[in-house]
């Protein structure tokens, strides 16, 4: 009885203590760590290569030798720079011809939206996929990245967990934005019948590819740990 009383008096996570319901805690809290306290506040830094937690004053990881940084330096500056370049490439990608077609001496040039409208007359699902991947997804990515970067500087009502999920979704969906470039490449390879018909990619294809690449780099340049830091009262952003 005395031992049971002593065990119940110990705080949860303390050596030899029991969690609520009489179960032993399998993950005791580190010495000096308060509940909900971050590794940065505890004076630790995690290696982004091997994951080892080390004292913050170390410059290199003792396990793998990688450079240690609590947060990616100048993360937001790189995010905005790459985001702006991607946006600058996206504008001509929608204004210039994406596909140039020569058929029996006639010359056609179509933009992304114009080509999707022409395809819709023959195959509506394909046209919707092209519009989704070439217009809706890129614009949504620009808005999401800008929102995340602004939310780090200015606290909003959206909780950090929801913003991290949004960041992961932006990183996942980014690779599917290249579908329009893939369609142009496939059509160029398949439709080439000399004098009768030929299809060539227009200047918009290069601008669109660069836009996708720079927005993907912009998302990767963002350090998601800054999203959690923005919820702290004395947060400092990189």
Which of 67-81, 187-201, 216-230 is the least confident region?
187-201
Does pTM top 0.75 for this prediction? no
pLDDT for residue 37: 63
The answer for residues whose C-beta is within 8 angstroms of residue 136's C-beta and 6 or more apart is none
| Strand partners of residue 100 | 109, 200
Report which of residues 221 and 193 the model is more confident about: 221
In a 13 Å sphere around the CA of 202, the CA atoms on its Cβ side amount to 21
Rounded Cα–Cα distance for residues 187 and 189 (Å): 5
In three-state form (DSSP H/G/I as H, E/B as E, the rest C), the secondary structure along 28-43 is CCCCCCCCCCCCCCCC
- DSSP secondary-structure letter at 100? E
Which of 59-63, 99-103, 167-171, 194-198 is the least confident region?
194-198
> Does 45 score more than 80 pLDDT?
yes
Give the mean model confidence (pLDDT) for residues 31-44: 61
> Does 238 score more than 70 pLDDT?
no
Which of 38-42, 47-51, 203-207 is the least confident region?
38-42
DSSP 3-state of 99: strand
Taking residue 116's Cβ as centre, other Cβ atoms within 10 Å add up to 21
At 13, the pLDDT band (50, 70, 90 cuts) reads very low
Rounded Cα–Cα distance for residues 129 and 135 (Å): 10
Give the mean model confidence (pLDDT) for residues 197-202: 72
pLDDT in tens, 134-144: 888 889 999 99
> Does 197 score more than 50 pLDDT?
yes
Token digits of residue 31: 């010495």
In a 13 Å sphere around the CA of 220, the CA atoms on its Cβ side amount to 10
> Does 19 score more than 50 pLDDT?
no
> Does 5 score more than 50 pLDDT?
no
> Does 85 score more than 90 pLDDT?
yes
Give the mean model confidence (pLDDT) for residues 163-183: 78
CB 112 within 8 A of CB 130: yes
pLDDT for residue 73: 75
Give the mean model confidence (pLDDT) for residues 100-121: 77
CB 95 within 8 A of CB 145: no
Q: Can you give the residue ranges of every domain in the chain?
A: 1-31, 39-70, 75-229
Rounded Cα–Cα distance for residues 5 and 8 (Å): 5
Taking residue 54's Cβ as centre, other Cβ atoms within 10 Å add up to 17
Tell me the C-alpha to C-alpha distance, in Å, between residue 138 and each of 3, 45, 166.
63, 34, 15
Taking residue 221's Cβ as centre, other Cβ atoms within 10 Å add up to 20
């Amino acid at each position: 009885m005395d031992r049971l009383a002593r065990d119940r008096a110990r705080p949860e996570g303390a050596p030899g203590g029991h969690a609520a319901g009489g179960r032993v805690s399998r993950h005791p809290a580190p010495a000096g760590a308060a509940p909900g306290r971050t590794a940065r506040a505890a004076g630790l830094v995690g290696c982004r290569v091997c994951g080892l937690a080390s004292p913050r004053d170390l410059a290199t990881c003792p396990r793998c030798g990688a450079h240690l940084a609590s947060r990616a330096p100048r993360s937001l500056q790189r995010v905005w720079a790459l985001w702006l370049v991607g946006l600058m490439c996206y504008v001509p990608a929608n204004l210039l011809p994406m596909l140039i077609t020569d058929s029996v001496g006639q010359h056609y040039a179509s933009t992304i939206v114009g080509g999707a409208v022409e395809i819709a007359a023959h195959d509506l699902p394909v046209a919707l996929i092209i519009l989704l991947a070439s217009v809706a997804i890129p614009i949504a990515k620009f808005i999401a990245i800008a929102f995340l970067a602004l939310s780090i500087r200015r606290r909003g009502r959206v909780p950090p967990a929801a913003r991290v999920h949004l960041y992961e979704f932006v990183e996942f969906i980014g690779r599917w934005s290249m579908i329009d470039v893939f369609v142009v490449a496939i059509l160029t390879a398949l439709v080439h019948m000399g004098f009768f018909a030929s299809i060539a990619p227009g200047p918009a294809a290069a601008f669109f590819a660069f836009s996708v690449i720079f927005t993907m780099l912009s998302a990767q340049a963002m350090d998601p740990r800054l999203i959690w830091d923005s919820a702290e009262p004395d947060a400092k952003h990189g």
